[in-house]
Amino acid sequence: MSELECGCLPREDVAGTLVARIGYRGAEFSGYAEQPGQRTVQGELRQALETALRRPVDMECAGRTDSGVHALAQYVSVPVTSEELERVGRRLHASLVALTPDDISVLGLFRARAGFSARFDARRRSYRYRICCGPARPVLAWDHAWWLRGVGSLDVAAMDEAASHLVGEHDFKSFCKASSAELIESDGRSTSRFLEAVRVTDDIEGGEKIVAIDVVGNAFLHNMVRSITGTLVEVGRGHRDSEWVASALLARDRRAAGPTAPAKGLTFQSVEYDEGALVPWV
């Protein structure tokens, strides 16, 4: 199969990279990545980009999200030609806004060097998981928070203390979907990741109280943040102590940690790249 047939530009025609920053509400998507017969973020975005550029495109994203997970600042990179780099950014942006559905927001367009990858050039990624407690339904947070209706409150201080055990370079196999961990290891790859920060705080968003779990790291395993959340909630409910989280981490066994939290409470918050890597496309 030739490069054109697989949807990529020939290497000699690539002059730079279009990078789109997008947000999306994940409820109606079967995740980011394309799947046959399913509505996905990548599928909708590919249709918009191919219509705007009038050709097949090759795309990479900063981090694939599961079904139901939201994003405030996902980044997608597409190799482009010198002729395409001459297009007026605001007009291309307007076209992509018009071509995408209401649950995807094209937040901005950038130029980057040829060969730039939204995935491999990312330095750190950030997620936030939102939890609402108590018998009253969340109002504005309903679509993007985990409602623990039978839990009056969580011990946020205990959760934050437990979270400290996860900071640094560790093997996070206990917090990875078991089938995904098996595939990673069968390919000879590592389930070790570096977490720069894991913080649990009380917060107020839109006038509503939430418990926020913020996780920042270089890369993430399948279901990693949701598994961390489910584990920390066990501590917050008083079912486990802080040291249990450290033991679960060392076990390298998904069964040793807590349950996987629901998808809808998770939001892909941000991605950071080297300074100057992205230039606004105006």
Q: Which residues are annotated as a binding site for substrate?
A: 127
Q: Is 256 exposed, middle or buried (0-12, 13-18, 19+ CB in 10 A)?
A: middle
- CA 26 to CA 100: how far, in whole Å? 14
**Is residue 66 annotated as a catalytic residue, yes or no?**
yes
The residue annotated as part of the active site, out of 13, 66, 253, 274, is 66
- CA 155 to CA 236: how far, in whole Å? 4
Q: Which residues define the annotated binding site?
A: 127
- CA 165 to CA 220: how far, in whole Å? 17
**The dihedral sign for the CA sequence 202, 222, 144, 122:** positive
Torsions phi, psi of 69, nearest 5? -85, 145
- CA 144 to CA 166: how far, in whole Å? 24
Q: Residue 35 contacts by C-beta under 8 Å, 6 or more apart in sequence? A: none
- CA 75 to CA 120: how far, in whole Å? 11
**How many other CB atoms are there within 10 angstroms of residue 231's CB atom?**
27
Residue with tokens 């750190």: 124
Beta strands in 134-248 (DSSP E): 146-148, 168-171, 192-205, 208-217
Q: Which residues are catalytic?
A: 66
